Amino acid sequence: MEIRVSHLSTTAFQKLDFCIESGKITALSLKESHDLFCILHLEEKKAGSIYLDGIKKERKNQAYYQKKIALVPEQFLLLPYLSTVEEYLLYFLRELKVPCQNSFKKIQDALRIVGLPLSSLSKAITTLSETEQKLLQIAVSLLANPEVFLLEDPFAKLDLHYQKKLIGVFRKLKEKYQKTIVFSTMDVDKIYQYADNVIFLRKGRIVCSGSVEEVFKQATLLKRNQIELPTSLAFIHCVKKKKQITLSHHQDVRDLIKDIYRNV
């Protein structure tokens, strides 16, 4: 699903115009991500318009489109009256009012997509690691089969190994199931490595947006807005300046290392 925002204004944002492409992974870089995600989840009133696959969001269709957009908050929601993963998933299956003939199969499919084993169903919620909690959050959102996933700073507190596991889930959702993924982060390295598109917002305004490859070529514009280059790009610029050697841009650091061995 494509989401297009037109002339959006709130106390935090000023006349925002941007488009989140369908079937892409888009990064939002801003400090006020929760407020913007609530707007994209169609929860808050604001000046401006939101179009979903070209259709303007109105009161009469808000509930319909809201079901197609899943918001995954940064903090895991711990409910004291739910003990196990199975109880947690069944609870949200009822809360989301998902029509299904086989609840267990629905839950099983959600766990399979995020890479959690079926044995997780009997695990106590309080024993889950932060990565397992994040994957469980995504599994919950999958129960309603949304078209868009909004994830607030999903890589926070995860080490590199589990960050890669999480981005593997995002890419599976995008490539196999044609889902639209939106995540927020202030980390330019994660944006460069994991996103297709990026929207940088500073002080409530968009300072640059577009494909990750094109945006990070605008070094002067980024510097003017106090946005650092990703580590790999900064290294490439340094090599060009000091050694007069031009390395290719690579989102995967392993490809960059191969380029260094060939040229430096």
The per-residue pLDDT for 11 is: 86
Residues in the chain: 264
The per-residue pLDDT for 32 is: 77
The per-residue pLDDT for 31 is: 85
Contacts of 57 (CB under 8 A, 6+ apart): 42, 49, 50, 51, 65
> Using a CB cutoff of 8 Å and minimum separation of 24, what contacts does 241-250 make?
249/213, 249/216
Please state the domain extents for the chain: 3-210
Stated pTM of the model: 0.88
Q: How far apart are CA 193 and CA 190, in angstroms?
A: 5
Residues facing 26 on adjacent strands: 182, 197
Nearest alpha-carbon partner for 185 in 171, 201, 173: 201
- Walking along the chain (264 residues) 10 residues at a time, the average pLDDT comes out as 93 92 96 88 83 91 90 92 95 88 91 92 94 93 94 88 88 94 95 95 94 91 89 67 58 58 57
Burial class (CB in 10 A: 0-12, 13-18, 19+), 218: middle
Residues facing 29 on adjacent strands: 200
| Residue whose entry in the numeric block shows the structure tokens 């390395």 | 247
CATH of domain 3-210: 3.40.50.300
The per-residue pLDDT for 246 is: 58
CA angle, residues 11, 33, 1, in degrees to nearest 5: 105
Dihedral pair phi/psi, residue 230, rounded to 5°:
-55, 155
Q: How far apart are CA 258 and CA 168, in angstroms?
A: 23
